[in-house]
Amino acid sequence: DAKTTQPTSMDCAEGRAANLPCNHSTISGNEYVYWYRQIHSQGPQYIIHGLKNNETNEMASLIITEDRKSSTLILPHATLRDTAVYYCIVRKGYSTLTFGKGTMLLVSP
Amino acid sequence: DGGITQSPKYLFRKEGQNVTLSCEQNLNHDAMYWYRQDPGQGLRLIYYSQIVNDFQKGDIAEGYSVSREKKESFPLTVTSAQKNPTAFYLCASRTSGGETVGGYTFGSGTRLTVV
């Protein structure tokens, strides 16, 4: 599976959009981009995934660049409860998920 | 409600003792996984099972054992051979329906401390 690169930490003001970047320059054509988040001492929570088109669900939006070498997770109106570690993962087929250290997002009042 | 249940939430073990962590799911998922997480680190895969009565080693299987006798259950045994067992253990499951059905569902974890 392709490797991903994420910033170690980010800050966001409550109510503003949080834009979390992820680089995956070695992604191959059949690999999906997944996003999870983990609130302290809990199990990770699935957020969203996509292949090449932009995706949106009730939690977030996923923007994948045309060359698929990077993506951005957007939380449109961040709340304090969105404070968590966010993991960007690239995966193909039925291969297992490989978690890096992710981005620690701190949402402040 | 469907989900994954891990028990116990906290577990203390004396050095040299084996201990078994429970993971049960009622999501009718085919695949189940065990991950280990150390402070400030990402998750590392211990074992996984795609189907009943079959399982594969992950990246850090040494000192651990699993069984998959029922679809709903995937217990993990931490043996005395595991050199640094103190960690946060997470169980996950996933349907085999393909990429369009979404991601893994995780349990709430078991925090194991060796004393």
Residue of A44, A46, A76 whose CA lies nearest to A61? A76
**Mean pLDDT, residues A4-8 taken together:** 95
Question: Which tokens is A9 given?
Answer: 């930490």
**pLDDT higher than threshold 80 for residue B6:** yes
**pLDDT higher than threshold 80 for residue B1:** no
Strand B43-51 versus strand B31-37 pairing type: antiparallel
Question: Cα distance from B91 to chain A (closest Cα, Å)?
Answer: 8
Q: Which residue has the higher pLDDT, B1 or A50?
A: A50
* C-alpha span between A65 and A88 (Å, rounded): 15
Cα nearest neighbour of B91 on chain A: A43
Q: What is the secondary structure of A62-77 as a DSSP string?
A: EEE-TTSSEEEEEETT
For residue A62, which residues of chain B lie inside 8 Å, CB to CB? none
pLDDT at residue B100 in the model: 58
For residue A104, which residues of chain B lie inside 8 Å, CB to CB? none
Q: What is the residue-averaged pLDDT of chain A?
A: 93
For residue A101, which residues of chain B lie inside 8 Å, CB to CB? 40-42
pLDDT at residue B54 in the model: 95
pLDDT tens string A16-64: 999 999 999 999 888 899 999 999 889 999 999 999 989 999 999 999 9
Q: What is the secondary structure of chain A as a DSSP string?
A: ----B--SEEEEETTS-EEEEEE-TT--TTEEEEEEEE-TTS--EEEEEESSS-EE-SS-EEEE-TTSSEEEEEETT--GGG-EEEEEEEEETTPPP-----EEEEEE-
Question: Per the omega criterion (within 30 degrees of 0), is the bond before B8 cis?
Answer: yes
> pLDDT band at residue B23, thresholds of 50, 70 and 90?
very high
A96 touches chain B (CB under 8 A): yes
